[in-house]
Amino acid sequence: MYSVNAIATSAEPPQWVLTLSCIDGPGIVHAISGAVVAAGGNIEESQQFASRDTGRFFMRLQVGAVAPGGPEAPAPFEERFARALAPVTERYRMTWRLDTVGRPVRTLLLASTATHCVNDLLYRQRNGQVRIDVPLILSNHTTARDIADFYGVPFEHRAISGAEDKAAFEARVLDVVEEQRIELVVLARYMQILSPGLCEALAGRAINIHHSFLPGFKGANPYRQAHARGVKLIGATAHFVTTDLDEGPIIEQDVVRVDHSYSPAELMQLGQDEEARTLRRAVTWFAENRILLDGDRTIIFR
Amino acid sequence: MYSVNAIATSAEPPQWVLTLSCIDGPGIVHAISGAVVAAGGNIEESQQFASRDTGRFFMRLQVGAVAPGGPEAPAPFEERFARALAPVTERYRMTWRLDTVGRPVRTLLLASTATHCVNDLLYRQRNGQVRIDVPLILSNHTTARDIADFYGVPFEHRAISGAEDKAAFEARVLDVVEEQRIELVVLARYMQILSPGLCEALAGRAINIHHSFLPGFKGANPYRQAHARGVKLIGATAHFVTTDLDEGPIIEQDVVRVDHSYSPAELMQLGQDEEARTLRRAVTWFAENRILLDGDRTIIFR
Amino acid sequence: MYSVNAIATSAEPPQWVLTLSCIDGPGIVHAISGAVVAAGGNIEESQQFASRDTGRFFMRLQVGAVAPGGPEAPAPFEERFARALAPVTERYRMTWRLDTVGRPVRTLLLASTATHCVNDLLYRQRNGQVRIDVPLILSNHTTARDIADFYGVPFEHRAISGAEDKAAFEARVLDVVEEQRIELVVLARYMQILSPGLCEALAGRAINIHHSFLPGFKGANPYRQAHARGVKLIGATAHFVTTDLDEGPIIEQDVVRVDHSYSPAELMQLGQDEEARTLRRAVTWFAENRILLDGDRTIIFR
Amino acid sequence: MYSVNAIATSAEPPQWVLTLSCIDGPGIVHAISGAVVAAGGNIEESQQFASRDTGRFFMRLQVGAVAPGGPEAPAPFEERFARALAPVTERYRMTWRLDTVGRPVRTLLLASTATHCVNDLLYRQRNGQVRIDVPLILSNHTTARDIADFYGVPFEHRAISGAEDKAAFEARVLDVVEEQRIELVVLARYMQILSPGLCEALAGRAINIHHSFLPGFKGANPYRQAHARGVKLIGATAHFVTTDLDEGPIIEQDVVRVDHSYSPAELMQLGQDEEARTLRRAVTWFAENRILLDGDRTIIFR
């Protein structure tokens, strides 16, 4: 995800966010902060983490421009910053990404019948809480159409009744990703299993949400199984999509308390509320460049 | 658990607790409340639940004695109540149990090396928060001995280094259960797997605690696995012991939030805090006759 | 609230809910359950509570019809039940209410600029999670209009710029309550203080939501104050409206964790999420007849 | 708290923790990380925060020694680090503190009758979870004596029955603080109000714990008031002691859910559990140099 060294172009907001990772070692922070100083910037927010598992170092910086300063003055800040960063990122062989704080992330929503996640994301997108642009909702059902209409988001229905339909649906996903310069694909209760090819094509930029229980239940109708086992907590997990079904790097999890009196239907409704909340947080953090990958684990710089 | 129709004998506290279950049908509450009235009692607290899964009806009543009233006056309340209940429990073929509110439950603690659950239960037992009497702690390690000494609880160490030792340990458990009239066996981080025979002998009166994760992890060193997967919540589950390892009816669950910066050791420490809290609740509810079994599910009348 | 002995008329759902309160004493449950039996009903769900503070007894019953049974057969169940209840409610001088389970409660929403509570309630009303009918949204601002339009709910704007406007607004509230047979008024972030007269007219059937902090903050801009004090939890309280501003009987409360890095604006956004969730629960419980009043305290039969 | 530039002496653990604050401006991180590099160190963990409220910058670094390197090789790392830091801390007029990671903080516990906080801290101190040394427990009651004995901690009882006793108690506190080089005073349910003089003498190094409610309650017997108002959450707040009673900078807060059926006594017991948990966290963070003060707010670098 971080190998695309995108430089955001919006000049409006006065902050930039730099995320990076490299093999841990002395002097990294000093070198990075030196580039900030050289570009005439100020560190507004900074988080870092040294992983003992992989020996890698991770950092997220929010930087503001202080003053024109010196010979770089005419150039926009992000150019100056990128120029000052170049020798550092090269020397430490960093994977990095520079973005503008607050820039909405171009997001494709995939949906099926359930609308709770789509509704929650669009409501919060509109009120500014979740910084995403949604050029399209692609669904194999029509239930989300009127919500899409209300929020003025294009909606495209493609029924899936066989392998051929599914392949066509996935091809359409890849086309949209390219045509619309999609940065994030959100499986907002899209209930089809992605093909391995699509999983790989979207690695690190596709987020899925699913219910979670203690203990976990495999197979169909998990809320019925959870009811049968009398669980006391039901929850949701948002994770990156990988070819291991529902086993990608975990981004966020949450639970809610239930008791013996809840029917499977009530468990499902509460579970859906948790799904919407949990997915919303994962999408927000992605849009704010707060999620980095350390092997199979996520680093969340909240 | 409820087939032993124990009648508690302490006359001091003025309330009794009746728990019962039977096949659901009209008139049950009316019949039971009629017995309360006939015995000169008053319902202080009542909870009930009709299970759609099994078609059974469950009830927990706390009853106080109102007045001597009528010809039964000389008899103690629980005798009058038991007499009034007899035709009702017979007619509806009820499984029932009558106990005194606040009577400490005779409890055997099984322990191994970790002491967090033993310490928590004994501290709360002493300050009156958890109503249990602990005539013995039986452990295959010695680490809990000084805590036991401090709280004045007999401690017995029996090392387990092979199948023979384990069989002897389990035989000792059954002896203590009988000699000491033990009502509840708590596996307070006792790390040996119980034999099927012992599980059956203690069915419905042995509580275990173990760590829980979303998703679940099988095998050794689960905190290391949880760390490797980057889970965001770690928790604990208290359940009745059955021959299905860690799959008995769930009594209570809880979780705590963690993030990428926690080491496996820190995850374990937080997990242990959750284990102590969760086990404490399960033991408290058991001691207060708040747990009933509906097939593989627990009904918790909190 | 419970003095209006409304008998719901929908014959469709096969369950009825009875809520009642009276001075505590022996025999109440027996008498009530006798009326259920006499009417040919079965108790599906029952909760009760004896208040030591006021000496009153509270009960909530869900009852299904078993069989036509006896000479009352031709009459609908709720008539038979009401007839059987009459001598009991009279004898114990009960305040009671009989309703149909699942009947949507006629609800008037009052709003101002913020739309998070209105949006949450209407979304959940439409998907069946919150059982209310909303014949009107009355607001002193226009921000909620398009959400109302989307959900097909009539919206009426009445600006308030002085005492006269406010009196007219409140008069309109009372008119709507009468004309539309409103059972519940929800102040969904309606930011005007209700006059004492309106508070009294709506006693026990108007729910307000507001932010809550540990410790509490009086005066303007509480999120700024909460930020200044560095609180670690922010929350929301749903309560019945009384003439004591924000001091009515508490129905539900919840909190979310924050830290030093949250700006006042971010605190407010998280606080609004909590407000929507907390209000939703309070409205749901009201619609399900789960809230009873014991002096200044609520009994919540969940 | 951070003006004492203590240099810890333990050579055993290979990490040091640096906390600092100064007026925010460009180049701070670069200068600090330069000192780390110059001393032959590596940044293992780093957190920072720029306060918009006060314009100050806050940082916490954990640093390990990489290599002897250069002419400073013979000197211990913390000496080299202190020498390299000197021009930086001077130039930015920093308040700073350098400590050894894992060094137990010398802590004086003040207690009264309730023992839940003392017990929790001592249990966790012994198992290594909370890094404190407790040379003395000073109490105006004797209830904590046997717990102190069990954990081998000196216990001193000084009854307080009037102003003179209290002044003597406080004088003894100050003596102990000096004689025992106390770094942290924990009011572990010490129920006397500290005099303004003592508050000032202990500013930034005394932590208090008290119950917290939504809304807050003033005056005696808050659990009874909370019960009377029917609160649904009860909690605890740990804060620094200031002359404003219970209004010092908040360190940590937590809550637990309750309902109408809890008696005042039960509320108190749950509240005490929350107090112990919340205080434990605050003490742990203090011992790990994770708490910095930004005016009346705490920065918690978890």
pLDDT tens digits, A50-71: 998 899 999 999 999 886 545 5
Q: Tokens 């964790």 sit at which residue? A: C257
| Min distance C281 CA to chain A CA atoms (Å) | 11
Cβ–Cβ pairs < 8 A, chains B and C: 61
Same domain, D148 and D281: yes
Task: Specify the range with the lowest mean pLDDT, choosing from B74-88, B160-174, D177-191.
Answer: B74-88
Q: Check: CB of residue A57 under 8 Å from CB of residue A134.
A: no
Closest partner CB to B26 (pick from C28, C42, C50): C42
Cα separation values, C19 from A125, A225, C96, Å: 42, 33, 6
Q: What is the pLDDT of residue C3?
A: 30
Q: What is the pLDDT of residue A285?
A: 97
Kindly state the percentage of chain A with pLDDT values over 70: 91
Closest partner CB to A228 (pick from B261, B263, B296): B296
Same domain, C280 and C168: yes
- Contact state of C235 with D229 under an 8 Å Cβ cutoff: no
Kindly state the percentage of chain C with pLDDT values over 70: 91
Q: What is the pLDDT of residue D253?
A: 95
Q: Rounded distance, CA A29 to CA D59, Å?
A: 13
Q: What is the pLDDT of residue C8?
A: 36
pLDDT tens digits, A254-268: 999 999 999 998 899
Closest partner CB to B66 (pick from C26, C44, C47): C26
Torsion of CA A63, A64, A70, A75, to 10 degrees: 90
Containing structural domain, residue D253: 105-300
Q: What are the tokens at D134?
A: 């407790």
Same domain, D57 and D111: no
Q: What is the pLDDT of residue D241?
A: 96
Same domain, A183 and A48: no
A82 has a pLDDT exceeding 90: yes
Name the burial class of residue B190, with classes exposed (0-12), middle (13-18) and buried (19+) by CB atoms within 10 angstroms of its CB: buried
Q: Rounded distance, CA C284 to CA D3, Å?
A: 54
Residue D2 domain-assigned (yes or no): no
Which chain D residues are Cβ-neighbours of C278 within 8 angstroms? none
Q: Comparing C-alpha atoms, which of C218, C230, C216, C221 is closest to residue C262?
A: C230
Query: Please, which chains are in contact with C (at least 3 CB pairs closer than 8 A)?
Result: A, B, D
| Min distance C292 CA to chain D CA atoms (Å) | 11
- Contact state of C123 with A127 under an 8 Å Cβ cutoff: no
Q: Check: CB of residue A275 under 8 Å from CB of residue A191.
A: no
Q: Check: CB of residue D64 under 8 Å from CB of residue D15.
A: yes
Q: What is the pLDDT of residue A7?
A: 36
Closest partner CB to B150 (pick from D127, D129, D150): D150
Q: What is the pLDDT of residue B52?
A: 87
Same domain, B139 and B285: yes
Same domain, B153 and B240: yes
- Contact state of A127 with C150 under an 8 Å Cβ cutoff: no
DSSP B159-180: ---SHHHHHHHHHHHHHHHHHT
Task: Specify the range with the lowest mean pLDDT, choosing from A231-235, B75-79, B111-115, B287-291.
Answer: B75-79
Q: What is the pLDDT of residue D67?
A: 63
pLDDT tens digits, C251-301: 999 999 999 999 998 899 999 999 999 999 999 999 999 999 999 999 999
pLDDT tens digits, D225-252: 889 889 999 999 999 999 987 789 999 9
Q: What is the pLDDT of residue A66?
A: 81
| Min distance B85 CA to chain C CA atoms (Å) | 14
Catalytic site positions of C: 246
Residue C9 domain-assigned (yes or no): no
Same domain, C58 and C91: yes
D9 has a pLDDT exceeding 80: no
- Contact state of D298 with C216 under an 8 Å Cβ cutoff: no
- pLDDT greater at residue D140 or residue D265: D140
B43, B71, B100 - which closes a domain: B100
Q: Rounded distance, CA B245 to CA D283, Å?
A: 38
D30 has a pLDDT exceeding 90: yes
Which chain A residues are Cβ-neighbours of D24 within 8 angstroms? 42
Tell me the average pLDDT of chain D. Answer: 90
Q: Rounded distance, CA D42 to CA D69, Å?
A: 12
**What mean pLDDT comes out for the span D46-54?**
91
Which of C23, C43, C85 to mutate: most B Cβ within 10 Å?
A: C43
Q: What is the pLDDT of residue C10?
A: 38
Same domain, B199 and B278: yes
Q: Check: CB of residue D234 under 8 Å from CB of residue D270.
A: yes
Q: Are strands A41-50 and A56-65 parallel, antiparallel or unpaired?
A: antiparallel
Q: Rounded distance, CA A70 to CA D255, Å?
A: 53
- Contact state of C252 with D232 under an 8 Å Cβ cutoff: yes
Cα separation values, C188 from C166, C247, C276, Å: 17, 17, 9
Closest partner CB to D296 (pick from C230, C237, C261): C230
Query: Please, which chains are in contact with B (at least 3 CB pairs closer than 8 A)?
Result: A, C, D
Same domain, A72 and A131: no
Does D26 contact chain A (CB < 8 Å)?
yes
Same domain, C87 and C175: no
Q: What are the tokens at A126?
A: 């509109």
- Contact state of B269 with D150 under an 8 Å Cβ cutoff: no
Q: What is the pLDDT of residue C218?
A: 67
Paired with C106 in beta bridges are: C133
Cα separation values, B269 from B114, B198, C10, D170, Å: 11, 30, 55, 36
Predicted confidence band of residue D137 (pLDDT cuts 50, 70, 90): very high
Count the neighbouring beta carbons within 10 Å of the beta carbon of residue D88. 21
- What does residue D157 show for φ and ψ, rounded to 5 degrees? -105, 130
Same domain, C165 and C91: no
Which chain A residues are Cβ-neighbours of B226 within 8 angstroms? none
D70 has a pLDDT exceeding 70: no
Q: What is the pLDDT of residue C11?
A: 39
Q: Comparing C-alpha atoms, which of D136, D140, D24, D9 is closest to residue D77?
A: D9
Q: Tokens 């949604």 sit at which residue? A: A134
Residue D87 domain-assigned (yes or no): yes
pLDDT tens digits, A112-125: 999 999 999 999 99
Q: Rounded distance, CA B202 to CA D222, Å?
A: 43
Closest partner CB to A29 (pick from D26, D27, D29): D29
Residue C49 domain-assigned (yes or no): yes
Predicted confidence band of residue B71 (pLDDT cuts 50, 70, 90): low
Q: Rounded distance, CA A109 to CA A134, Å?
A: 7
pLDDT tens digits, A131-145: 999 999 999 999 999
For chain C, give the secondary structure using H, E and C: CCCCCCECCCCCCCEEEEEEEEECCCCHHHHHHHHHHHCCEEEEEEEEEECCCCCEEEEEEEEEECCCCCCCCCCCHHHHHHHHHHHHHHHCCCEEEEEECCCCEEEEEEECCCCHHHHHHHHHHHCCCCCEEEEEEEECCCCCHHHHHHCCCCEEECCCCCHHHHHHHHHHHHHHHHHCCCCEEEECCCCCCCCHHHHHHCCCCEEEEEEEECCCCCCCCHHHHHHHHCCCEEEEEEEECCCCCCCCCEEEEEEEECCCCCCHHHHHHHHHHHHHHHHHHHHHHHHCCCEEEECCEEEECC
Query: Annotated catalytic residue: which of B246, B273, B294, B296?
Result: B246
Q: Which residues contact C291 (CB under 8 A, 6 or more apart)?
A: C251, C282, C285, C298, C299, C300, C301
**Residue D25, SS3?**
coil
Q: Comparing C-alpha atoms, which of A21, A2, A73, A77 is closest to residue A44?
A: A77
Q: What is the pLDDT of residue B74?
A: 56
Residue C3 domain-assigned (yes or no): no
B5 has a pLDDT exceeding 50: no
- Cis (ω within 30 of 0) for the bond into B215? yes
Kindly state the percentage of chain B with pLDDT values over 90: 77
Q: What are the tokens at D235?
A: 């909690």
B191 has a pLDDT exceeding 70: yes
Interface TM-score (ipTM) > 0.90 = no
Residue B282 domain-assigned (yes or no): yes
CATH number where B62 lies: 3.30.70.260
Predicted confidence band of residue D190 (pLDDT cuts 50, 70, 90): very high
Angle between helices C28-38 and B28-38 (to 10 degrees): 150
**Residue D126, SS3?**
helix
Does A14 contact chain D (CB < 8 Å)?
no
pLDDT tens digits, C198-239: 999 999 999 999 988 876 666 678 888 889 889 999 999 999
Residue D33 domain-assigned (yes or no): yes
A1 has a pLDDT exceeding 50: no
Q: What is the pLDDT of residue C212?
A: 85
Residue of C nearest to A124 (CA): C116
Q: Comparing C-alpha atoms, which of B225, B206, B207 is closest to residue B216?
A: B225
Q: Comparing C-alpha atoms, which of B81, B85, B64 is closest to residue B72?
A: B81
Does D218 contact chain C (CB < 8 Å)?
no
Count the neighbouring beta carbons within 10 Å of the beta carbon of residue A265. 11
Tell me the average pLDDT of chain A. Answer: 90
- Contact state of D119 with B123 under an 8 Å Cβ cutoff: yes
Q: What is the pLDDT of residue B223?
A: 87
**What mean pLDDT comes out for the span D104-109?**
98
Residue of D nearest to A34 (CA): D30
**Residue D95, SS3?**
strand
Residue C30 domain-assigned (yes or no): yes
- Contact state of B36 with C43 under an 8 Å Cβ cutoff: no
Does C113 contact chain A (CB < 8 Å)?
no
Task: Specify the range with the lowest mean pLDDT, choosing from B169-178, C147-156, C265-274.
Answer: C265-274
**What mean pLDDT comes out for the span D264-271?**
91
Q: What is the pLDDT of residue B66?
A: 81
**Structural domains in chain A (count):** 2
Q: Rounded distance, CA D253 to CA A277, Å?
A: 23
| Min distance A49 CA to chain B CA atoms (Å) | 7
Q: What is the pLDDT of residue D218?
A: 67
Tell me the average pLDDT of chain B. Answer: 90
DSSP chain A: --SS--B----SSSEEEEEEEEE--TTHHHHHHHHHHHTTEEEEEEEEEE-TTT-EEEEEEEEEE----GGGTTS-HHHHHHHHHHHHHHHTT-EEEEEETTPPEEEEEEE-S--HHHHHHHHHHHTTSS-EEEEEEEESSSTTHHHHHHTT--EEE----SHHHHHHHHHHHHHHHHHTT--EEEESS--SPPPHHHHHHTTTSEEEEEEEESS---SS-HHHHHHHHT-SEEEEEEEE--SSTT-SPEEEEEEEE--TT--HHHHHHHHHHHHHHHHHHHHHHHHTT-EEEETTEEEE--
- pLDDT greater at residue C178 or residue C224: C178
Sheet with B132-139: list strands edge to edge: B155-157, B132-139, B105-111, B184-187, B206-213, B233-240, B250-257
Q: Rounded distance, CA D138 to CA B74, Å?
A: 54
pLDDT tens digits, C47-82: 999 998 899 999 999 999 886 545 545 578 889 999
CATH number where A173 lies: 3.40.50.170
C150 has a pLDDT exceeding 90: yes
Q: What is the pLDDT of residue B10?
A: 38
C100, C118, C143 - which closes a domain: C100
Q: What is the pLDDT of residue A193?
A: 94
Cα separation values, D98 from C6, D19, D59, D101, Å: 72, 7, 12, 10
Q: What is the pLDDT of residue D217?
A: 67
Which of A51, A232, A252 to mutate: most B Cβ within 10 Å?
A: A232
Same domain, D198 and D294: yes
Count the neighbouring beta carbons within 10 Å of the beta carbon of residue A227. 23
Catalytic site positions of D: 246
B58, B84, B100 - which closes a domain: B100
Q: Rounded distance, CA A36 to CA C279, Å?
A: 46
**What mean pLDDT comes out for the span D194-213?**
94
Query: Please, which chains are in contact with A (at least 3 CB pairs closer than 8 A)?
Result: B, C, D
